[in-house]
Copies of this chain bind each other. A is one copy, B any other.
Amino acid sequence: MTSKRANQWLASADLRPTRQRVALAEVLIGDGKHRHVTAETLFEQVKLGGEKVSLATVYNTLRAFCDAGLTQEVTVDGSKSYFDTNTYDHPHFYWDDTQTLTDAPADQMKITQLPDAPEGMEIGSVDVVIRLRKKN
């Protein structure tokens, strides 16, 4: 049962609902919750779901989703990129032990003052990553 949601999500960005894209979208937003994946983890998850999508396509598709504004790329540890289905500007928790990324409650963070953008520049986004480590 392919959720209508996934198809609408793709349609909203003028992306053709190919079998692979729908499968990926399904995993990403099928239940309406936000998700944080790497190309690799998404690849695994879609395979578990029984669909076959090549890893290259996962990469290309995530890139396409980002270009279309459906997802947001979050860089956290230099090696891999994470993709977040929540495109609203919000802080993240990065769990050092499991190397996973989750949303941090945005309402519990307040930045009351921000440096001014230098001459001729403007602020594109403010990326906040709160690194968590296991307490002792």
Contact = CB atoms under 8 A, between A and B. Distances in A.
Interface stretch (A15-23, A46-54, A124-132): A124-132
Contacts of A73: 78
B115 A124 contact: no
Interface residues of A, number: 40
Q: How many copies does the complex hold?
A: 2
B104 A115 contact: yes
B115 A134 contact: no
A1 interface: no
A115 B108 contact: yes
A132 B80 CA distance: 22
A87 interface: no
A14 interface: no
A129 B113 CA distance: 14
Contacts of A78: 73, 75, 78, 80-81
Contacts of A134: 120-121
Nearest to A115: B108
B121 A95 contact: yes
A56 interface: no
A35 to B, nearest CB: 18
